[in-house]
Amino acid sequence: LARNLDHLAKLPAVTSDGHRVRLLVNTGLMADVVRSLERGAEGVGLFRTEVPFLLRDRFPSEEEQREIYREQLEAFAPLPVTMRTLDIGGDKALAYFPIEETNPFLGWRGIRVTLDHPEIFLAQVRAMMKASQGLNNLRIMLPMISGLNELEASRKLVERAYRELLEEGYEIVMPPLGVMVEVPSAVYQVRELAERADFISVGSNDLTQYLLAVDRNNSRVANIYHALHPAVLRALQEIVTTAHSVGIEVGICGELAGEPGGAILLVAMGYDMLSMNATNLPRIKATLRAIRQEDAHLLLQQVIHMHCAEDIEKAVHSYLKKIG
């Protein structure tokens, strides 16, 4: 198996009829980085920066953050590393920054927290940009964007940090600034967001949770959490079509990208980049290399008009069985 993976790592992610897709990884710890490189990842589609914050008993300083970010950027250079600004709140609580709410997933989460605490946001983006000096492979991504004003406010802060660093003598380039589409309101504003952002990445875990109003971590309702729900599939198609129409690349970094059936449907929809856990990457690459994009389209056409998630899951399952 080890040799098999090694062999696969060097091959491109391309369907048998020549459609190229980029496969990236989701990271959090340095351990993920080594595994990802061994498996031939083409960059990082989502670095969950809250992971190093969760492992500490206080906020890491700007300098401590710079070191952490530098390690990731250096390991992947010249491949892109997409760093998401702190996404705490919801299910991710920092012991040293308690947030108590009755409805945390609809509360103070992600960009809402860091825009209310610009000092946290600024220290983080300064550390990221300092770390990118001489490498220039940094991309910054904003979580939980629910409207244009949050993107505008974030861009102002990133630009301010960039100007200050230039004045301090750092030789850096302004990193691309991207938006996660994971809140339903963002689906209906994809055009406006895509016109103002440098890239879009779909967070299908939260998007599914919020579209279906099903807590992603509640086992009691796990049976109705369907990433292949017709409403979710329509939203996913709408996002990529709209973003492409304004000439912007679209990736996805939710778990769906790491599932063979999900990956096939996403490729059929036109997603340019799939970002996943390194564990799933070889299997997804093997799946995509085994199919024709044309067949993926046929599967998508078959399921996109189905009325319930269970039927879609069955159709996808039998397709996967057919291709072995």
Structure tokens at 240: 């990529």
Are the C-beta atoms of 125 and 172 separated by less than 8 Å?
Answer: no
Using the rule CB under 6 A, is 259 a contact of ligand PEP?
Answer: no
Q: Residue 123 or 253: which CB sits closer to Mg ion? A: 253
Using the rule CB under 6 A, is 120 a contact of ligand PEP?
Answer: no
> Using CA atoms, how far apart are residues 213 and 190, in angstroms rounded to an integer?
20
Using the rule CB under 6 A, is 146 a contact of ligand PEP?
Answer: no
Options 42-50, 175-183, 281-289, 306-314: segment touching Mg ion (CB under 5 A): 175-183
32 binds, among ligand PEP, Mg ion, none (CB under 5 to 8 A by kind): none
Task: Please give the C-alpha separations between residue 30 and each of 23, 39, 67, 277, in angstroms, as whole numbers.
Answer: 19, 15, 12, 13
- Pattern of binders to ligand PEP over 205-244, x per CB under 6 A? xx--------------------------------------
The amino acid occupying position 78 is P
* Choice from 42, 150, 206, 255 touching Mg ion (CB under 5 A): 206
Instruction: Give the alpha-carbon dihedral of 37, 40, 45, 46, to 10 degrees.
Output: -40
Options 6-14, 126-134, 201-209, 315-323: segment touching ligand PEP (CB under 6 A): 201-209
Spatial CB neighbours of 253, under 8 Å, sequence gap ≥ 6: 24, 26, 45, 46, 82, 180, 201, 202, 203, 204, 275, 276
- Per DSSP, 199 falls in state E
- Pattern of binders to ligand PEP over 167-196, x per CB under 6 A? ---------------x--------------
Using the rule CB under 6 A, is 139 a contact of ligand PEP?
Answer: no
Spatial CB neighbours of 107, under 8 Å, sequence gap ≥ 6: 89, 90, 99, 101
Using the rule CB under 5 A, is 150 a contact of Mg ion?
Answer: no
Which stretches of the chain are assigned E, i.e. beta strand?
22-27, 44-48, 81-84, 138-142, 177-181, 199-202, 250-252, 273-276
Using the rule CB under 6 A, is 253 a contact of ligand PEP?
Answer: yes
> Which strand (E) or helix (H) includes residue 121?
helix 118-131
- Pattern of binders to ligand PEP over 40-79, x per CB under 6 A? ------x-x-------------------------------
Options 38-46, 78-86, 166-174, 198-206: segment touching Mg ion (CB under 5 A): 198-206
Residues of this chain that interact with Mg ion (CB under 5 A) are 182, 203, 206
Residues of this chain that interact with ligand PEP (CB under 6 A) are 46, 48, 87, 182, 203-206, 253-254
